[in-house]
Amino acid sequence: MGHGAPLHDGHHIRLIEGGQAYFDALVAALDQASSQVHLETYIFDFHGAAARVAEALERAALRGLRVWVVVDGVGTPRLPPEWQERFLLAGVAWRVYSPLGTLGLLIPSRWRRLHRKLCVIDGQLAFCGGINILDDWYDPHYGTLAQPRLDFAVSARGVLVQQMQETMAQLWWRIQGVHHAKQQQFPEALSSFRVAGVHLSWQQEADLALEAKVVAKAGLLLRDNVLNRGQIERAYLKAIGASRHEIVIANAYFLPGRRVRQALIHAAKRGVRVRLLLQGRYEYFMQYHAARPVYGALLAAGIEIHEYAASFLHAKVAVIDPDHDRPWATVGSSNLDPLSLLLAREANVMVADKAFAQQLHQRLILAIEQQSTPVGMQSFTKSPWHLRLRDRVAFALMRLALFLTGNRY
């Protein structure tokens, strides 16, 4: 694929659907861990099933493992006092990425968030996806849900595990450096920044896969504000450009820039069937309404849009040509919207494997056919004027926000 994200053979990749299955896999792996655990998440909530992950991290630290946890300052501004104390007593080291401070999000530079959901265990096993440490049946804003949110992750063994651990360790040491500098501990700060700039590597032990996984060609896609500013968007553009038969994209927050929109429209015009599974339930004003003004051009090009109706859609996945000779799929934390593609730290796993692509495709088609509502051009153009006004206001606010950050999209 190029663009700094080469695909390597021999990965063991397993698709995981939903928080329940993800927590089961994560807790089992944490309880078998023998040396170190690195975990990053946007939201770390302690309600319901999510507490199982916190308890497993606590158990790992009490066994003497090195356990590092990084949470985002917007998604998780603070841990509950009980868990702060429990992590402290167990020896779980945790840091908050970019705490908001007094002015909060009024400062545009603070819109650059840590949105990755990653975990690496013993330098051997990795998890990557869109699933926060948040109970599937619970939402911090809406309470108990009638159905679990739709989301995906993967577990992986192979070369990308070391790449993932390296990027997580570098971020950890940068956060440590900032922490020391604020405490005016300048020698310690300098030491941390120096470690963050070093190419770190870990010796991987023999693969001890305990369950059947797809042996696949795969790679890690990163988005940051230094070396990997456009890697995820370029990977999407290349895969869409190479498509010949079918594209299925599921995105919680979908507001693609001009290049991605044009690539999808061109694909549809050359006969590729393009289906989008998008958020059908109101969650946030900006993300919900700003997406709608781009529907018209996509529908006019013959692109099918389906809005997920069963619960909240949180997936950030795509499948291209799963039944043909160049299958492509991605699972991760990155939406096709400006917050993900221009501002946040994101991570996706890219997989070129027919069995994996077919498995993800099958699940997405099921959601489209049984749990979603199609958006027709007629219903879209005849929506009430006050909804169209909200759509235009949200779109304008998003454009303004991007202008304030100095980005064009």
Cα 330 to chain centroid, rounded? 10
Hunting for tokens 């509502």 — which residue is that? 373
Which residues are registered as beta bridge partners of 247?
Answer: 274, 320
Choice among 38, 115, 213, 361 that is catalytic: 115
> For this structure, is 321 an active site residue?
yes
> For this structure, is 115 an active site residue?
yes
| Residue 257, CA distances (Å) to 7, 86, 251, 264, 349 in order | 25, 44, 14, 11, 21
DSSP one-letter code for 271? T
What residue type is assigned to position 260 of the chain?
A: V
Give the 3-state DSSP-derived string for 44-88, with helices as H, strands as E and coil as C.
Answer: ECCCCCHHHHHHHHHHHHHCCCEEEEEEECCCCCCCCHHHHHHHH
Percent helix, percent strand, percent coil in the chain, to nearest 5: 40, 25, 35
Choice among 122, 135, 139, 337 that is catalytic: 122
Choice among 45, 139, 151, 321 that is catalytic: 321
> For this structure, is 3 an active site residue?
no
> For this structure, is 47 an active site residue?
no
Choice among 11, 180, 289, 314 that is catalytic: 314
What residue type is assigned to position 102 of the chain?
A: T
> For this structure, is 217 an active site residue?
no
> For this structure, is 238 an active site residue?
no
Choice among 12, 38, 117, 361 that is catalytic: 117
What residue type is assigned to position 354 of the chain?
A: K
Choice among 11, 12, 213, 316 that is catalytic: 316
Residues carrying an active site annotation: 115, 117, 122, 314, 316, 321
